[in-house]
Amino acid sequence: MGAFDTTLGALLLCAVLNTYLYGLTTFQYGTYYNTEFNDPLWIKSAVGALFCVDTVHSISVIYMVWVYLIENMGDPTFVAHSVWPLPFSAIVISIIAVGVQNFLSLRIYRLLDQKWLLILFGCVSTGTAILGFALGVKLMTMDYLAEYMTVKPQLTAWLTMEVALDTTISGTPPCGIGHSPDLETSILD
C-alpha cells in the first residue's frame, strides 16, 4: 500500500465517481430540456440553475484534484493543506439539496394535500442547508485539514440530517414506499 492511498488515492477515486455521476445528471438535464413537458417557467429555471451549480461544483472538484496531484506533486507536505474546493463542496451540496428537497416537498404537498408535511420538510431542509452552508464558511477559514476535526460533530450532524431527510422524502408517498397506481398516474400526467 502506498503512502498516499488513503488520502490522494481516495480523493482521485471520489473525483472520478463525481465526474461519472455528473455525466449521468448532465444526460438527465439534457433529456429534460429535449422532452416536451408542460412545466412552468419557474421549474425549468430551477432545473437550469441546479445544473449550473452542479457544473461549477464538478469543475471545482476537478481543480482540487489538479492542485493536489499535479500542481503540488513534488511536495508531500501539501496534502495537509486545505484547498478552497473542499469546503466549497459543503456550500454547494447545501444549495443543491435545499432546492431539490423543497421541490419534492412541494410535489408531495400538491399530490397528498398534507400541508404539515410541506412545513416539516421545508423547515428541516432549510435548517439543514443553513447548517451545511455555515460549516462550509467555517471550513473556508481553516488552512489545514487537521483543523477540520474541530467541527467533526457538526459535520456528522449535517450529513446525518441530509441523509435522514432525503430518505424520508423518498419514502413518502407519492415519491416512494406505499404509492398507489392512481398517484402514479397523476404524477405521470
Mean confidence (pLDDT) of the chain? 88
Residues 153 and 121 in one domain: yes
Residues 109 and 175 in one domain: yes
Residues 66 and 101 in one domain: no
Give CB contacts under 8 A, 24+ apart, made by 34-42: none
Is pLDDT above 50 for 188? no
Residues 71 and 123 in one domain: no
Phi, psi angle pair for 73, to nearest 5°: -60, -35
DSSP-H helix ranges across the chain = 10-34, 41-66, 85-112, 115-140, 152-171, 181-188
Residues 57 and 70 in one domain: yes
- 37-46 confidence digits (pLDDT tens): 888 999 899 9
Residues 15 and 71 in one domain: yes
Q: Is 172 in contact with 145 (CB distance < 8 Å)?
A: no
Residues 104 and 188 in one domain: yes
Determine the pLDDT at residue 181: 53
- Between 8 and 17, residue with greater pLDDT: 17
Determine the pLDDT at residue 65: 94
Question: Which of 27, 45, 79 is at the close of a domain?
Answer: 79
- 89-98 confidence digits (pLDDT tens): 999 999 999 9
Determine the pLDDT at residue 180: 53
The C-alpha atoms of residue 163 and residue 36 are separated, in whole angstroms, by 32
Determine the pLDDT at residue 75: 86
Residues 89 and 157 in one domain: yes
The C-alpha atoms of residue 51 and residue 61 are separated, in whole angstroms, by 15
Grid cell locating 40: 412552468
Determine the pLDDT at residue 37: 83
Q: Is 174 exposed, middle or buried (0-12, 13-18, 19+ CB in 10 A)?
A: middle
pTM value is 0.81
For 66, the domain range is 1-79
- The structural domain count of the chain equals 2
Q: Is 82 in contact with 145 (CB distance < 8 Å)?
A: yes
Residues 96 and 189 in one domain: yes
User: How far are the Cα atoms of 124, 143, 162 from residue 131, in angstroms, in the given order?
Assistant: 10, 20, 10
Residues 41 and 106 in one domain: no
Question: Which of 55, 79, 103 is at the close of a domain?
Answer: 79
- Residue 21: which pLDDT band, with cuts at 50, 70 and 90? very high
Strand partners, 144: 81
Residues 75 and 86 in one domain: no
Grid cell locating 160: 446525518
Question: Which of 51, 79, 107 is at the close of a domain?
Answer: 79
Residue 186, C-beta contacts closer than 8 angstroms, at least 6 positions apart: 111, 174
Q: Is 145 exposed, middle or buried (0-12, 13-18, 19+ CB in 10 A)?
A: middle
In 3D space, the residue among 66, 87, 62, 171 whose CA is nearest the CA of residue 137 turns out to be 87
Residues 88 and 62 in one domain: no
